[in-house]
Copies of this chain bind each other. A is one copy, B any other.
Amino acid sequence: MTATSALDTTTTQEKLRSARQAAAEVGRLSTSAKNALLSAMASEIHRHTEEILAANAMDLAADNLSSASRDRLLLNPARIAAMVEAIDAVAGLPDPVGEMLAEWTRPNGLRIRKVRVPLGVVGIIYESRPNVTVDATTLCLKSGNAVVLRGGREAVSTNVALVRILQAAPGMPSGALQLLDSRSRASAEELMRARGLVDVLVPRGGADLINRVVEEAIVPVIETGAGNCHVYVDKLADLDMADRIVINAKTQRPSVCNAAEKLLVHQDIAPAYVPRIAAKLRASRVEILGDEQTRRLAPGQGIGEASESDWYTEYLELRMAIAVTPSLEAAIAHINHYSTRHSDAIVTSDEARARRFLAQVDSAAVYWNASTRFTDGGEFGLGAEMGISNQKLHCRGPFGLPELTSTKFQVIGTGQIRG
């Protein structure tokens, strides 16, 4: 028997209804009950390390995996230990459910309270990383939600194993964790259209996945997404600091959404700075593209010609496009035009210019004299991260437990009627 044959015959609709029913029970769990459940989940994952690795080996045996896919999919004892630690970390975070956000009394004596409540049923559509299976489940349960997972086809054996282990953890409400069949598109389509059964959908993955969900879903979506991030080096920048920030933002981990893809340089310092940073980027094995001025300023450095589409592109690899901008205003306008509004930075020693950048660049995270690589729930001190929202509705930037809740008005009267 393979792990995939253990995928049960329950239909997607039945699973969604079951999650909907379980949501009320999950929502009523006390903080201590939820923390005990998370602790049990961590123990069960640890105890079943061998079983998880065996299931993962089946997924890794597929013929057609690229080396990047294989790396995303791969589990080993260290990665499983990291999953366990992540669960324990969430158990240690404050419970958002029940928090009273505001309370007031109206002139007619009505007392109104705005309190945090769980969203209900949260759906996650994601790709190959198996740690998302555990992370998303943990965050959703701690915030009082039932969870429906639709993982990647290539991780099916690993996900089935993980979910069966988590479902069997002592204290898990029946139906609270559902894994949809990832072997066809039908389950994803049903999930995206499950209005009334699913309260919120969070897609996690590449641009194609996100776009498909945004196009097709009628369930409300928290869009996570691409980062075409910029570093702008102002004419009043400390150039040594600029070097460190540009190199870090570009090269420290180029495959992630908060890595910088574009460098803008103020024209007053461009003759000195462009050749200098180009040499340092090349020394870090970064392929460089540039606008006409950039290429003229550093002719010997093999800088290719950036096309219009380059300015929109999230490379996710060791490539960077450089443009020379005539002014701070032009840099802001460039970023607001081409950026995916994720994370953008200015390097300058001038506070007034920095404030203008921070106020006018319309991105989820705007930086003054720091690397864009800090846009991350952990680095922001949020404790845990469900994703990084690239939309303005509900939440923006890194989000965690509080953003997995909604609110409710509780109104307490003594017989008030409306006149």
Q: Interface on A for B, CB 8 Å cutoff?
A: 24, 27-28, 104, 106, 110, 112, 117, 119-120, 195, 199-200, 214-215, 218, 220-223, 238, 241, 244-245, 248-249, 252, 336, 354, 358-360, 362-371, 373-375, 379-381, 391-398, 406-418
Q: What residues of chain B lie closer than 8 Å to A406, measured between beta carbons?
A: 392-393, 396
Q: What residues of chain B lie closer than 8 Å to A368, measured between beta carbons?
A: 410-413
Q: Is the CB of A397 within 8 A of B417?
A: no
Closest B residue, CB atoms, query A193: B215
Q: Is the CB of A362 within 8 A of B222?
A: no
Q: Within the assembled complex, what's the spacing in Å between the Cα atoms of A243 and B146?
A: 38
Closest B residue, CB atoms, query A117: B362
Contact of A112 among B218, B380, B415 (CB under 8 A): B380
Q: Is the CB of B367 within 8 A of A415?
A: no
Q: Is the CB of B412 within 8 A of A200?
A: no
Q: Is the CB of B369 within 8 A of A412?
A: yes
Q: Within the assembled complex, what's the spacing in Å between the Cα atoms of A214 and B362?
A: 26
Contacts beyond the supplied A364-B408, A371-B416, A397-B408: 7 A-B pairs with Cβ under 8 Å: A112-B381, A119-B393, A252-B418, A369-B416, A370-B412, A392-B406, A396-B407
Contact of A370 among B366, B379, B416 (CB under 8 A): B416
Q: Is the CB of A220 within 8 A of B416?
A: no
Copies in the complex: 2
Q: Within the assembled complex, what's the spacing in Å between the Cα atoms of A240 and B155?
A: 62
Contact of A411 among B27, B360, B365 (CB under 8 A): B365
Closest B residue, CB atoms, query A213: B218
Report A133 CB to chain B, min CB distance, Å: 23
Q: Within the assembled complex, what's the spacing in Å between the Cα atoms of A29 and B284?
A: 43
Q: Within the assembled complex, what's the spacing in Å between the Cα atoms of A329 and B418?
A: 28
Q: What residues of chain B lie closer than 8 Å to A381, measured between beta carbons?
A: 104, 106, 112
Closest B residue, CB atoms, query A368: B412
> Contacts A120-B362, A220-B221 given: A371-B245 contact, CB under 8 Å?
no
Report A314 CB to chain B, min CB distance, Å: 15
Q: What residues of chain B lie closer than 8 Å to A119, measured between beta carbons?
A: 392-393
Q: Is the CB of A220 within 8 A of B360?
A: no
Closest B residue, CB atoms, query A109: B370
Query: 17 A-B residue contacts at CB 8 Å?
Result: A24-B360, A112-B381, A215-B218, A220-B221, A244-B415, A249-B417, A364-B408, A366-B408, A368-B411, A371-B418, A379-B418, A380-B409, A393-B393, A393-B394, A396-B408, A397-B409, A398-B409
Q: Within the assembled complex, what's the spacing in Å between the Cα atoms of A373 and B379?
A: 45
Closest B residue, CB atoms, query A252: B418
Q: Within the assembled complex, what's the spacing in Å between the Cα atoms of A371 and B413?
A: 9
Report A312 CB to chain B, min CB distance, Å: 11
Q: What residues of chain B lie closer than 8 Å to A396, measured between beta carbons?
A: 406-409
Q: What residues of chain B lie closer than 8 Å to A365, measured between beta carbons?
A: 408-409, 411
Q: Within the assembled complex, what's the spacing in Å between the Cα atoms of A28 and B365?
A: 18
Contact of A413 among B27, B199, B218, B369 (CB under 8 A): B369
Q: Within the assembled complex, what's the spacing in Å between the Cα atoms of A241 and B416?
A: 9
Report A198 CB to chain B, min CB distance, Å: 11
Closest B residue, CB atoms, query A220: B393
Q: Is the CB of B418 within 8 A of A373?
A: yes
Q: Within the assembled complex, what's the spacing in Å between the Cα atoms of A362 and B23?
A: 11
Task: Please provide the 3 A-B residue pairs with the shortest distance between their CB atoms, ordered closest to farther.
Answer: A370-B413, A248-B417, A392-B406
Q: What residues of chain B lie closer than 8 Å to A366, measured between beta carbons?
A: 408-411
Q: Within the assembled complex, what's the spacing in Å between the Cα atoms of A391 and B120?
A: 11
